[in-house]
């Protein structure tokens, strides 16, 4: 089966799920096009997707609030969406913002009639699937901030427990004597920030395999051969 036909079929089948991210079509095509590089698969899927969009068989959308409340991606936005590197990588975009593929009534009819062909079997596991990546810069900043804020809050709570509740009277008395209320709160807060930042630094070094399933999609569809579709 020609590579373009594989990509076209996978785009449509993922669109039929009505919840699959843009990158799902790329990954499910990749395992069926043996020897293709990441960039070759992306270009192929992008080209076929644009044709399907032009003929009205599929559309792109986001789910910014809850499932069922689709926000269509306008035609003028498509070029920008397709050019965004993070939209082609799992776990790189928030669930609310990730572009998804939907099947139109016209596309559904063509799929039922067999116009999009048949499924291709899984041929290989691309060697670039084992590549690992770091979180995007904006997600790193957000994670760092959240850990720092959480650390500050926990530091203040810890100070309050040690001094206000008097669980360990000698410690409470010593803290109140050495660190007056305002100073003590600040020191514990900054200590919490430092601890939260250190924990985030450790956590951010952990990498996730490029091909990990989107944890926010609970349903795993199967292809005609019984293989899991991304």
Whole-number CA gyration radius for the chain = 25
Per-residue model confidence (pLDDT) at position 110: 95
Model confidence pLDDT, tens digit, residues 39-90: 999 999 999 999 999 999 999 999 887 766 899 999 999 999 999 988 988 7
Range with the poorest average pLDDT among 107-111, 167-171, 185-189, 214-218: 214-218
Model confidence pLDDT, tens digit, residues 94-148: 777 899 999 999 999 999 999 999 989 989 888 777 654 444 444 556 677 888 8
Model confidence pLDDT, tens digit, residues 21-31: 999 999 899 99
Per-residue model confidence (pLDDT) at position 215: 40
Per-residue model confidence (pLDDT) at position 152: 85
Per-residue model confidence (pLDDT) at position 78: 95
3-state helix, strand, coil in the chain (%, to 5): 55, 10, 35
Higher pLDDT, residue 64 or 211: 64
Percent of the chain predicted with pLDDT > 90: 37
Tell me the residue ranges of DSSP E strands in the chain. 58-62, 71-72, 100-103, 132-133, 208-209
Alpha-carbon span 100 to 109, nearest angstrom: 20
Per-residue model confidence (pLDDT) at position 214: 44
Confidence of residue 210 (pLDDT cuts 50, 70, 90): very low
Give the CA angle between residues 90, 214, 132 to the nearest 5°.
40
What single DSSP character describes residue 229? P
Using DSSP's 3-state secondary structure scheme, residue 21 falls into strand
Alpha-carbon span 42 to 27, nearest angstrom: 9
Residue 150 · residue 191 · CB < 8 Å: no
Whether the pTM exceeds 0.85: the reply is: no
Higher pLDDT, residue 119 or 178: 119
Percent of the chain predicted with pLDDT > 70: 77
Alpha-carbon span 85 to 187, nearest angstrom: 42
Residue 132 · residue 85 · CB < 8 Å: no
């Amino acid at each position: 089966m020609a590579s373009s036909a594989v990509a076209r079929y996978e785009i449509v089948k993922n669109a039929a799920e009505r919840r699959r991210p843009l990158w799902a079509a790329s990954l499910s095509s990749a395992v069926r096009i043996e020897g293709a590089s990441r960039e070759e698969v992306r270009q192929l899927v992008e080209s076929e997707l644009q044709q399907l969009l032009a003929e009205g068989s599929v559309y792109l959308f986001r789910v910014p609030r809850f499932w069922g409340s689709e926000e269509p991606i306008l035609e003028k936005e498509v070029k920008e969406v397709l050019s965004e590197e993070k939209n082609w990588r799992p776990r790189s975009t928030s669930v609310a913002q990730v572009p998804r593929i939907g099947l139109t009534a016209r596309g559904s009819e063509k799929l039922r009639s067999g116009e999009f062909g048949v499924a291709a079997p899984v041929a290989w596991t691309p060697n670039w699937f084992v590549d690992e990546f770091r979180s995007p810069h904006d997600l790193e900043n957000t994670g760092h901030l959240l850990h720092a804020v959480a650390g500050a809050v926990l530091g203040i709570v810890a100070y309050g427990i040690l001094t206000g509740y008097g669980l360990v009277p000698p410690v409470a008395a010593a803290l109140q004597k050495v660190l007056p209320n305002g100073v003590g709160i600040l020191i514990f807060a900054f200590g919490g920030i430092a601890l939260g930042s250190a924990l985030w630094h450790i956590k951010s070094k952990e990498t996730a395999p490029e091909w990990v399933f989107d944890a926010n999609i609970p349903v795993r569809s199967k292809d005609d051969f019984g293989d899991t579709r991304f």
